Amino acid sequence: MDAHGLVSFIVAPRLNTKYRFVYPGEEGWFPTTSTIGTVRVRVLMAAKLLRAAARDGAWRIYHTDQPVFYAAAVYPPYPGEYVEVDLYRYRDGVWRQIATDDFRQDRDGVIVVYVRAGALRPGRYRFSSWFEPSSHDREGNSAPYRYFRVEP
């Protein structure tokens, strides 16, 4: 505590946590109790595209005759819980969702999905994924978009 009665500290909880501070007081200072403060902890998510034919900056390139593989991981893992995966296509200046589904995490918190060869027309696409723990011990999170092009 500083000379003005202020306390500061750094915490790194692994789960959503509530804190309340109690100061018993001392000579010249009255006892006090703080309001409850909540620190919310998010899961971490990562994602990547796999088995692309080529790369152009942030874009992965696939051909119409090859499947598009997408993997996402949740940390810490929640085996058996579902990750939502969305697929978007860019057309006429707008990203439009064209597919969505939920996929069960394996014991390591990983999901791998693919779009079969020939299912996507040439164009620009992106995947996104989202996870929300059913236990609510942590907050949900999304992985960054992963962009790819399909070419003939």
pLDDT digits (tens, 9 = 90+) for 100-134: 999 999 999 999 999 999 999 999 999 999 999 99
State the pTM of this model: 0.82
Domains of the chain: 44-151 (2.60.40.1930)
Q: How far is CA 71 from CA 6, 38, 45, 59, in A?
A: 46, 32, 11, 16
The single-letter code of the amino acid at 43 is V
Write the burial class of residue 94 (CB in 10 Å: 0-12 exposed, 13-18 middle, 19+ buried). Answer: exposed
| pLDDT band at 6; cut points 50, 70, 90 | confident
pLDDT at 54 over 80: yes
